[in-house]
Amino acid sequence: GQNIDQPTEMTATEGAIVQINCTYQTSGFNGLFWYQQHAGEAPTFLSYNVLDGLEEKGRFSSFLSRSKGYSYLLLKELQMKDSASYLCAGLSYNTDKLIFGTGTRLQVFP
């Protein structure tokens, strides 16, 4: 199958670090995307990992381990505006289709 699993909800405190995990159960993915979606808005692209390892972009980093079918999004120095849903999506191998998880809703408290 092509399941993408991520926690439904997480909470964290302003200024803290949070890690959102994503696991996938197929060898048919050619990369892993992370999107941010604020309530009522369209998703916006955060990161794309095609090789194993950590990609850092400012306060956000994304990690991929293809052998373990595992990725995480790391958010540092959390701000209130980081409260949003974070969507993990796998790029299907040999097609350009993204398979999305149901998203993790992150709430940042002061």
Partner 1 sequence: SQTIHQWPATLVQPVGSPLSLECTVEGTSNPNLYWYRQAAGRGLQLLFYSVGIGQISSEVPQNLSASRPQDRQFILSSKKLLLSDSGFYLCAWSVPAGDQYFGPGTRLTVT
78-95 b/e (C-beta count within 10 Å ≥ 16 → b): beeebbbbbbbbbbbeee
Based on DSSP, count helices (H) and strands (E) in the chain, helices before strands: 0, 11
Write the interaction track for partner 1 spanning residues 45-74; mark x where CB under 8 A is met and - where it is not: x--x--------------------------
- Map residues 10-49 to x or -, x wherever contact with partner 1 holds by CB under 8 A: --------------------x--x-x----xxxxxx--x-
Using the contact rule CB under 8 A, the part of the chain among 15-23, 56-64, 75-83, 85-93 near partner 1 is: 85-93
